[in-house]
Structure 1
Amino acid sequence: MNATDPIRRSTDIHRLLDEAFAGVEVTPETQDLKEEIRDNLLFRVAELEASGIEPSDAARRAIAELGDIRALVDGDSPAETPAAARTESAASAALRNRVRPKPGFVVRTVVLSIVAAAALALLVLGLFDLLSTSTAVLVTLSAVFGVALGVVTADALRQETSASHPLPTGRAVGFGASTGVLLAGLAFTAVVIARLDLAWIILGALLVVAAIGVLSYLGATQTNRHKPWMVEQQRSMRTGNRFEEDPASAARFGIYTAAIWTVAFVVAIVLGFTVGWLWAPVALIAGFVVMLITLARMLFGADAKSKG
């Protein structure tokens, strides 16, 4: 594929999509739908080109696969048979099954994100003494930062998406609480380094390690949330990963992750009290690198290849 192909692909899609939407009333909703279709069409054209189809032919085929544009705009596309579902393109399937975010969820996410951003900004200003803030206020800001983003995480996982069913309430709360504790623990650790007796860093480390352990467990035990159409698409495209095919590997990775981060935080604390706190982040960076190497070996190592 030469350098002009992406430009040609985009030009063809823009032209054909404008022709398909000719006569359709322009509203904010239809404009959003048009942009969503455009993104999916570009993805589908790239798929077709990769299979050897010329860019112009791929664009026309992708448009043809959409079917009746007015049916998509009206949201009443005909029911698909199982055979049709198996041959349906990823772009068309995503559009047919699209789920728009609920207004309440959007409002809650925006408000809580603003609260978290404000808490983080005030926390940073206080840590660098650019704002006169007591230590108690900084600790409170750390908690607010973690709680706000934890609630956003749990709320997001409880929402239905085009591809996935909502997560059960208990697990969503677990993910949200762990995320909140992790972020609050990291922020609290920064407060300890700047304002408190360094012995308090043990509490921050315990919070972070506990949160990572719970997140690892929840991730390793997570079952499929994808809707049937998405599962069918994954089967046809062979996009499964080893953790989905071998839950035992996912469980092992969760245990390895918890162990790696526990050791990393212990080493960071030891370095802080012996060599100096400027060296403590080295242990955390090393832990992150080791975790990535472990993940790569588990997904793409010899054992993974033998299972494939």
Structure 2
Amino acid sequence: MTDSSLAIHRLLDEAFAGIDMTAEARDLKEEMRANLVARVAELEESGVGGDVSAQRAMAELGDVRSIVGDTAGTPAAPWLDQRVRPRPAFVVRTLLLSLLAAGALAVLVLSALATVAVVWEVLAVAVLAVTGGLITADALRQETTTNYPLPTGRSAGYGAAAALGLAGAGCAAAAGPQWPVGPLVAGGVLLVVSAVAFTWLGVTQTNRHKPWVVRMQREHQQVHEAFAGDPAAAARFGIYTATIWIAALGGFAVLTLTAGWRWSWLALLGGLLLMMLTMARTIFRSRSSD
């Protein structure tokens, strides 16, 4: 390591003395270190000595404390000032639920490789759906650095939609010759209901951003959502989505009764792809008309 590199490390450590070294602050320090090394290399090529070049680079950098969080208007300042750490109880709950979900998923994977009793497959699907829904609802109830927590009822709605989607996907994944047609059709219905629920929740969701996030968005002139100022586009997309999923559900039922469950999921996949293409076309058309 050269003398200039040692000088950079020493000066940077001195500048960060007394600053709370959070993960964000450590990332910022390493970014500064890389920039200082590059700047010192430029100064040394121009004939400036090692220690002098390190001191000059630090002087050009300015007040480190202002960059980290004391100066308003810098990108790092509001984040470091407003950061919200996860609650320990939430972390423990999420870890335990994730372990349950992983066990249920392992049972479903095993059922695809070997014969597993139907009762265990049904139990695994139920556990996966419930844990996934609880994790989703619990996460949305937590305050984050950028967003306020969702109300209990609305977060429960997102959790229920996630549970329905996981239940439907689990039925399709665990289905085998020993399963009757009824649960397969029910799985497809659950997927459609989940997609419709997520669509409704997303369309009716109000802004959760904290004031400092909204201020930063305005300062950076971020693009508004395509549907915010175009009710006609939102109405068209809603009609298209309903039509697509009604057709997909009908195709799923027809394929299940004719070609079997191994091919019926293609109707749902086609409906999802067509809905995404419709959303993209509606968004870009709305933006091009602004």
Range of TM-score over shorter length: 0.7 to 0.9
| Paired residues, number | 259
Matching of residue 102 in structure 1 with residue 91 in structure 2:
no
Matching of residue 123 in structure 1 with residue 108 in structure 2:
yes
Q: Give 5+ residue unaligned stretches, structure 2.
A: 34-57
> Helix, strand or coil: the match of 2:17?
coil
Q: Which residue of 2 aligns with 1:292?
A: 276
Distance 2:194 2:242 in 1: 9
TM-score (norm. length: structure 1): 0.72
Q: Which has the larger radius of gyration?
A: 2
> Contact conserved, 1:193 with 1:201, CA < 8 A, in 2?
no
Q: How does 1:257-268 map to 2 (within 5 A)?
A: 257-268=241-252
Matching of residue 275 in structure 1 with residue 278 in structure 2:
no
CA deviation map 1:155-202 (0-9, x unaligned): 110111111111111100000111011101210233334531123322
Q: Which residue of 2 aligns with 1:205?
A: 188
Distance 1:40 1:223 in 2: 36
> Contact conserved, 1:220 with 1:247, CA < 8 A, in 2?
no
> Contact conserved, 1:165 with 1:225, CA < 8 A, in 2?
yes
Q: Which residue of 2 aligns with 1:35?
A: 26
> Helix, strand or coil: the match of 1:224?
coil
Question: Following TM superposition, by how much is the alpha carbon of 1:274 offset from its aligned partner in structure 2, in angstroms?
Answer: 1.9
Go from structure 1 to structure 2 and tell me whether the alpha carbon gap of 1:210 and 1:23 turns closer, same or farther (over 3 Å shift). closer
Q: How does 1:208-287 map to 2 (within 5 A)?
A: 208-239=191-222, 240-246=224-230, 249-250=233-234, 253-254=237-238, 256-287=240-271
Go from structure 1 to structure 2 and tell me whether the alpha carbon gap of 1:92 and 1:148 turns closer, same or farther (over 3 Å shift). same
> Contact conserved, 2:185 with 2:256, CA < 8 A, in 1?
no
Give 2:25's aligned amino acid.
K
Q: How does 1:39-54 map to 2 (within 5 A)?
A: none
Q: Which residue of 2 aligns with 1:187?
A: 170
Matching of residue 67 in structure 1 with residue 52 in structure 2:
no
Q: 1:144 aligns with which of 116, 127, 133?
A: 127
Larger CA deviation: 239-248 vs 132-141 = 239-248
Matching of residue 92 in structure 1 with residue 77 in structure 2:
yes
TM-score (norm. length: structure 2): 0.76
Distance 1:293 1:244 in 2: 19
Larger CA deviation: 263-272 vs 153-162 = 263-272
What is the identity percentage for the equivalent residue pairs of Structure 1 and Structure 2? 38
Q: 1:19 aligns with which of 12, 37, 51?
A: 12
Distance 1:103 1:216 in 2: 32
> Contact conserved, 1:217 with 1:254, CA < 8 A, in 2?
no
> Contact conserved, 2:171 with 2:183, CA < 8 A, in 1?
no
Give 2:250's aligned amino acid.
V
Give 1:201's aligned amino acid.
L
Give 1:67's aligned amino acid.
S
> Contact conserved, 2:16 with 2:64, CA < 8 A, in 1?
no
> Helix, strand or coil: the match of 1:226?
coil
Distance 2:147 2:194 in 1: 25
> Contact conserved, 2:67 with 2:77, CA < 8 A, in 1?
no
Give 2:276's aligned amino acid.
L
> Contact conserved, 1:163 with 1:227, CA < 8 A, in 2?
yes
Question: Following TM superposition, by how much is the alpha carbon of 1:243 offset from its aligned partner in structure 2, in angstroms?
Answer: 3.3
Q: 1:177 aligns with which of 160, 166, 175?
A: 160
Give 2:76's aligned amino acid.
A
Q: Give 5+ residue unaligned stretches, structure 1.
A: 1-11, 43-58, 79-83
Distance 1:41 1:258 in 2: 52
Distance 1:158 1:40 in 2: 33
Go from structure 1 to structure 2 and tell me whether the alpha carbon gap of 1:211 and 1:23 turns closer, same or farther (over 3 Å shift). closer
Distance 2:75 2:232 in 1: 30
Give 1:270's aligned amino acid.
V
